[in-house]
Amino acid sequence: MVKQAPHYKRILLKLSGEALAGDKAFGINHDTIERIAEEIKSIHGLGTEIAIVVGGGNIFRGIAGTAQGMDRTSSDYMGMLATVINSMALQDCLEKRNVYTRVMSAIGMSQVAEPYIRR
């Protein structure tokens, strides 16, 4: 089999939280996240560097919390935590496929994610 050269050296992939829910109304659909991880691995196998931005709408939407009377900051933090949950689930799937990953977050939680620092 001839290895195909990547079209792009680096890509940015945005995954919505809803994409991770698959056909479920909320949460993470195991079969869906496994399929996504396989697709990411195949692209990575071409030599393409991949940055992934993951949403959290399958678990919590900050704007919905605000609409229900929650403090905007608290609501946004909850949405960011949902994003980290999704990121860690995807990380687990990818690393089981020997694809090295890093989860980064703007909220300090050094036990599960590296701090993001805008330079």
Which CATH number fits the domain 10-115, given the four candidates 3.40.50.1000, 3.40.1160.10, 3.40.440.10, 3.40.50.1100? 3.40.1160.10
37 has pLDDT over 90: yes
Percent of the chain with pLDDT over 90: 60
Q: pLDDT category, 1, cuts 50, 70, 90?
A: low
Percent of the chain with pLDDT over 70: 94
Q: What are the boundaries of each domain within the chain?
A: 10-115
Distance CA 80, CA 57 (A): 10
| Better-predicted residue by pLDDT, 33 or 63 | 33
Contact predicate 75/65, CB 8 Å: yes
47 has pLDDT over 70: yes
pTM of the model: 0.85
